[in-house]
Amino acid sequence: MAKLLVLHGPNLNLLGTREPEVYGKTTLEQINRDLTALAQEFGVEIDCCQSNHEGALIDRMQEAMGNTHGIIFNPGGYTHTSVALRDCIAGTSIPTIEVHLSNVHAREEFRHRSLLAPVCKGQITGLGAIGYTLAFHAFLEDFAKRGLLTTED
């Protein structure tokens, strides 16, 4: 069975109330619930975690080595600052898709550069909560190609 880790970085526990004009009104609980339902539908094991602490995110990624086939990661503000998270993604070799609810490229200049994107499989930005769903479906394709699931033609 394919296993997917969903990591939510700092301040994402405040989704739904924190700057809804930027991040939308969908809560973190709703995102996790929707992803869990998709995972059940497609026979994927899923683990959703949130932390406001860089070290805890790194610990969780390292714990996933050897038993997780993909990571959906919204690193929040760490996107632009964390060499440690970049090195962890590169070092674990677990395919990772970076997700952002807002379009970071249409916001403040300091948000335009991701230190993580160069070591990620891809990046989805600016599509709101559906970005997580799109990342999930991208991993379904990847898992099928790797023989981790069976798909009907």
Query: Which of 23, 69, 78, 132 is an active site residue?
Result: 23
The single residue of 8, 69, 78, 100 carrying the catalytic annotation is 100
Q: What is the Cβ-side half-sphere exposure of residue 3, based on CA atoms within 13 angstroms?
A: 10
80 carries a ligand binding annotation: yes
* Alpha-carbon span 71 to 106, nearest angstrom: 25
Residue 87 marked as a ligand binder: yes
35 marked ligand binding residue: no
Estimate the crossing angle of helix 83-92 against helix 54-64, to 10 degrees: 0
Q: Is 137 a catalytic residue?
A: no
Q: Contact at 8 Å (CB) between 122 and 81?
A: no
145: Cα within 13 Å, side-chain hemisphere: 6
Reply yes or no on whether 23 is catalytic.
yes
33 is in an annotated binding site: no
List binding-site positions. Answer: 74, 80, 87, 101-102, 111
List binding-site positions for substrate. Answer: 74, 80, 87, 101-102, 111
As annotated, the active-site residues are 23, 100
